[in-house]
Structure 1
Amino acid sequence: MKIGYFTTAFPCKNPSTRESTGSYIGGGVENVTYNLALQMGKRGHDVYIFTSSMNNAKDSIEKYGNITIYRYKNNFKIGQSPISSGLIFKPLFSNIDLDIVHSQLGNLPAPLTAYFYAKKKKKPLITTYHEDWVKGFGSLFRKVGVALFDGFIADILLSASNIVLTPSQYYINHSMHLSKIRKKVCAVPNGIDFEDFHIDLGKHECRKKLGLPLDKKIILFVGSLTPRKAPNVLIEAMSLIVNNYQDCHLVFVGSGNYIKELKSMAKELKLERYITFTGFVDDDVKYMYYHSSDIFVLPSISEGFGIVLLEASACGLPLITSNLVVFKSIVQEGENGYFTKTGDYIDLGNKILFLLQDEDVRLKMGEKSKKDASKFSWERVAEQTEQIYLQYV
């Protein structure tokens, strides 16, 4: 099959070697697309990725065996989303005759391009809907964009799709958009590549290389530093924790437009010596942060799946999350982690404090996490997705 993936951003990584080819690695949506494309290429399909360039680079074509990446010049950004006029129009006039159009309905404009391509060339449209957009923060442009998306754009794109995929069965009934089209929605989980998370260094060696405290418990957050991930709630929880337990350190791995506010908040709460902000890091370094840590925390107010929870599980970390329904496919209360009331820093702080102080429970939960993670492989995800494609060819 000739499979086209339409995604507004895509990692700068060589699919053959997995080596970084640029500074952009991306978040959940981008890495899901990358791994799915990689697996489809391994299964013998011709894979085409239509995306934007980063940092205003010119249009480019990257060829890696049977995987071809078309990157179109990024004209400007709205929030974290690169906007490319080339991505909107140029694929519509290409001579590539796709069998499957797979839209990643994260940020616009790529999903619009997929919609128009499928409509113009009469091709089946598969859409992965990752999550509802969070209202109430960001620039005026973003707020207008969210209003338009919720008002009619999302419903048009989803209604036009032959089938809609979403990472969690739990999410279907709780999404304002998916609940309207339940009959055409299929749950296909995200996955992880376990080989990526195997490293030869122990916890102590990883900490030395990263410059982390050797004698403290490390609390880890990995993800974009944006309001929907609620890193501010974790900082507030940290102020409660250090009043009772000082031998701990919080590490934020990731970048985002919220970082200045978070650093100011940490300073105001006199937590600077207890918190490290790494900014963007390459995958190899990210894996070392996982292996350096004792507890993984994700206090998001909105998520479509939470792939970092799988990554943390693969590294044997206990999980503490907000009580979003989508996390129930990964977190088992009291077995591999704990849920906390969404947005409640006191509940979050108390759960973290309990695990910091009870090593036996912490280690048992970590072992259960690692065992459970084995159910989520990209090979299994790709096989399930391929079977869906074959229904429409």
Structure 2
Amino acid sequence: MRILHVGKYYAPQRGGIERHTQALAEASVRDGDQTCVLVHQPAGIRAHARDSINGVEVRRVGCLAAPLYTPLGPGFPRELARAVREFRPDLLHLHLPNPSIFFALLLPAARRLPWIVHWHADVPPDAPDWRLRIAYRFYRPFEQAMLARANWIIATSQSYLHASQALARWKEKVAIVPLGIDAVEAGAARPDLWPASGLRLLAVGRLGRYKGFDVLLKALARVPDASLLLVGDGECARELRALARSEGIESRIAFAGDVDDATLAGAYAGADLFVLPSLDRGEAFGLVLLEAMRARLPVVASAIRGSGVGEVVVDGDTGLLVEPGHADALAATIERMRDPALRARFGAAGHGRWMERFTLAESARATRAIYSGLLSPGSAPTP
């Protein structure tokens, strides 16, 4: 097959969507497919570029800026048309949310192809940021047009599908395909990454508002003899550093920024506990939870209604879930995790759950079944 993925960004840019897109694309290459990815450059890099990563052809469109998480690339329509013309895909795999993908609606050559829309997350109509709420009024008609045109829609969990207003009309053509990650060689534990002794907490993600890292910092102030390694960067970095100073925990938190894969593996291996304090359904699944489970690391995560987090983490079995946004409750839950036996039990159970339900092989198999169903007349996908 010849598969064209269209998304926001791609490796080396980090993020759950980017990592899963890369994983699927490289899995297709290993299955013998020709695979191309069309994405944006990071904000501020205006030149187009092409390269190859592990057998995947990657085309990057220059990006002026990325207001409201939306990359602005004036050349994207032209480059999408060029990719369809030159690469000659058998199908389009479109990763949303991403307004640039809407240009496919206007491109006759793209409309003649089968479409899979990979629904990674809603744009919440009740977002705390008023700018997003206004922007969504203009975004929604195009979003719905994409969903109407799609042959199949992939959602990452039944819970997210059930809660999604945007997907409500299209449930009959939605396939549930959870995210998955591959096995990797375990990293060498790096306890030196933590700035103080005691219980070692790890959190990983973009430093954005919906991630709830401010709640985690307030909880850390209530948990003595514990330190936090926070991996990631984003628009809230300065605000979080100021909060750490005001809470008096500056000496117990390390802001690592973006790190390489070896350092991240060492962080997972050296931590005692992984924490995902996200606040709302902006956290649609939590790919980092799988990374923690793969490393046999117990997790504490937010019990977000309508998110896939509760399908990944089994409360009281592979970790503990806590009401989002409550620093006292989060602190009390972290305190429960001081018990080494409890952490070991949760870590082992989490590893088993990842192996059973959330491997890349299973996610890629289900996705490939959808591809085959679209391209084989009379055949139906069996995800």
Q: TM-score, normalised by structure 1?
A: 0.88
SS at match of 1:392: helix
Q: What amino acid is aligned across from residue 107 of structure 1 in structure 2?
A: N
Task: Specify which of 244, 250, 254 is matched with residue 266 of structure 1.
Answer: 244
- Tell me what 1:284 maps to: 262
- Tell me what 1:295 maps to: 273
User: Identity, % of aligned pairs?
Assistant: 25
- Tell me what 1:21 maps to: none
- From the superposition, tell whether residues 337 and 66 of structure 1 become closer, same or farther in structure 2 (CA, over 3 Å): closer
Q: What whole-Å deviation, never above 9, does each CA across 1:36-93 have from its counterpart, x for those lacking one?
A: 0000011000001111122415111213575211111112221444321222332214
Q: What amino acid is aligned across from residue 269 of structure 2 in structure 1?
A: H
CA distance in 2, matches of 1:187, 1:373: 17
Aligned length: 366
- Tell me what 1:255 maps to: 233
- Tell me what 1:20 maps to: none
Alignment check: 8 A CA contact 2:194 2:229 kept:
no
Alignment check: 8 A CA contact 2:26 2:54 kept:
no
- Tell me what 1:166 maps to: 155
Q: What whole-Å deviation, never above 9, does each CA across 1:149-190 have from its counterpart, x for those lacking one?
A: 3x4232221121111001112211111112221111111011
Unaligned 5+ segments in structure 1 are 13-24
Q: What amino acid is aligned across from residue 191 of structure 2 in structure 1?
A: R
CA distance in 2, matches of 1:321, 1:256: 20
Pairing of 1:108-257 with structure 2 (within 5 A): 108-109=99-100, 111-117=101-107, 120-134=110-124, 135-137=126-128, 140=131, 142-149=132-139, 151-195=140-184, 197-199=185-187, 201=188, 203=189, 206-208=190-192, 210=193, 212-213=195-196, 215-241=197-223, 246-257=224-235
SS at match of 2:122: coil
- From the superposition, tell whether residues 156 and 82 of structure 1 become closer, same or farther in structure 2 (CA, over 3 Å): same
CA distance in 1, matches of 2:105, 2:3: 15
- Tell me what 2:378 maps to: none
- Tell me what 1:50 maps to: 38
Unaligned 5+ segments in structure 2 are 376-383
- From the superposition, tell whether residues 158 and 251 of structure 1 become closer, same or farther in structure 2 (CA, over 3 Å): same
CA distance in 2, matches of 1:158, 1:35: 24
**How far is the alpha carbon of 1:118 from its aligned partner?**
6.9
- Tell me what 1:22 maps to: none
- From the superposition, tell whether residues 65 and 27 of structure 1 become closer, same or farther in structure 2 (CA, over 3 Å): closer
Q: What amino acid is aligned across from residue 341 of structure 2 in structure 1?
A: D
- Tell me what 2:94 maps to: 103
- Tell me what 2:380 maps to: none
Q: What whole-Å deviation, never above 9, does each CA across 1:225-267 have from its counterpart, x for those lacking one?
A: 11111111111211222xxxx2210121101101111111111
CA distance in 2, matches of 1:95, 1:350: 57
Alignment check: 8 A CA contact 1:233 1:344 kept:
yes
Deviation above 6 Å: which 4+ runs of structure 1?
none
Q: Decide which moves more: 265-274 or 72-81.
A: 72-81
- Tell me what 1:361 maps to: 342
**How far is the alpha carbon of 1:309 from its aligned partner?**
0.2
- From the superposition, tell whether residues 138 and 256 of structure 1 become closer, same or farther in structure 2 (CA, over 3 Å): farther
1:7 equivalent in alignment to 2:7 = yes
